[in-house]
Amino acid sequence: MDGIIPLYKPKGMTSSDCVRRCRGILRTKRVGHSGTLDPNVDGVLLLCVGKATKVVNYLMDSGKVYTGEITLGFATTTEDLDGEIIAAKHLRQPFSAAAISEKMQLLTGEQIQIPPLYSAVKVNGRRLYDYARAHQPVERPKRKINVQYFQQTKESVFDSEKGQQKCYFEIGCGKGTYIRTLATDLGRKLGVPAVMSQLTRQKSGGFELADTVSLQRLERLAKQQRLTEVVFDWDTALQKFEHYQLTGSEWQRIKNGAFLKAAHAADKLVLVYAGKSRCVYRWHLEHQCYVPEQMIDLTEGN
Name the domain count of the chain: 3
Mean pLDDT of 89-116: 95
pLDDT tens by residue, 151-198: 999 999 999 999 999 999 999 999 889 999 999 999 999 999 999 999
CATH of the domain at 132: 3.30.2350.10
Residues labelled catalytic: 38
Q: Are residues 259 and 148 in the same domain?
A: no
Closest residue by Cα to residue 269 from 257, 279, 256 = 279
302 inside domain:
no
Q: Are residues 71 and 196 in the same domain?
A: yes
- Residue percentage of the chain with pLDDT more than 90: 81
Q: Are residues 56 and 77 in the same domain?
A: no
Q: Are residues 75 and 24 in the same domain?
A: no
Q: Are residues 50 and 159 in the same domain?
A: no
Q: Are residues 94 and 214 in the same domain?
A: no
Give me the pLDDT at residue 52, please. Answer: 95
Decide if 60 contacts 167 (C-beta within 8 A).
Answer: no
Among the candidates 187, 218, 235, a domain finishes at 235
Q: Can you give the pTM of this predicted structure? A: 0.91
Closest residue by Cα to residue 73 from 139, 159, 5 = 159
Q: Are residues 70 and 177 in the same domain?
A: yes
Give me the pLDDT at residue 300, please. Answer: 72
188 inside domain:
yes
26 inside domain:
yes
pLDDT tens by residue, 6-59: 999 999 999 999 999 999 999 999 999 988 898 999 999 999 999 999 999 999
Confidence of residue 301 (pLDDT cuts 50, 70, 90): low
Facing residues of 159 across strands? Answer: 164
245 inside domain:
yes
Mean pLDDT of 215-238: 95
Give me the pLDDT at residue 249, please. Answer: 93
22 inside domain:
yes
Q: CA 130, 133, 135: angle at the middle one, nearest 5?
A: 105
Q: Are residues 35 and 106 in the same domain?
A: no
CB atoms within 10 A of CB 251: 17
Mean pLDDT of 54-65: 90
Q: What contacts 103, CB < 8 A, 6 or more positions away? A: 186, 189, 190
Q: Are residues 90 and 152 in the same domain?
A: yes
250 inside domain:
yes
Phi, psi (degrees; rounded to nearest 5) at 121 = -60, 135
Mean pLDDT of 244-254: 94
Q: How far is CA 96 from CA 67, 107, 109, 114, 215, in A?
A: 20, 17, 23, 28, 41
Q: Are residues 153 and 55 in the same domain?
A: no
Q: How far is CA 192 from CA 74, 100, 129, 233, in A?
A: 8, 12, 25, 47
pLDDT tens by residue, 257-277: 899 998 898 999 999 999 999
Q: Which spans in 165-243 are helix H?
A: 179-190, 215-223
From its phi and psi, is residue 109 left (phi > 0), alpha (psi between -120 and 50) or beta?
left
Give the chain's mean pLDDT.
94
Give me the pLDDT at residue 156, please. Answer: 97
Mean pLDDT of 100-117: 94
- Output the DSSP codes for 79-112: SBTTS-EEEE---SSPPPHHHHHHHHHHT-EEEE
Running DSSP on this structure, what letter comes out for residue 180? H
Running DSSP on this structure, what letter comes out for residue 243? E
- Residue percentage of the chain with pLDDT more than 70: 99
84 inside domain:
yes
Helix (H) or strand (E) holding 123: strand 122-123
Instruction: Give me the domain span that covers residue 281.
Output: 241-295
180 inside domain:
yes
Long-range contacts of 9-13 (CB under 8 A, 24+ apart): 9/37, 9/41, 9/42, 9/43, 9/44, 9/45, 9/201, 10/42, 10/214, 10/215, 11/39, 11/40, 11/41, 11/42, 12/39, 12/40, 13/39
Q: Are residues 192 and 160 in the same domain?
A: yes
Q: Are residues 80 and 200 in the same domain?
A: yes
Rounded Cα distance, 115 and 102, in Å? 23
Give me the pLDDT at residue 125, please. Answer: 87
CATH of the domain at 257: 2.30.130
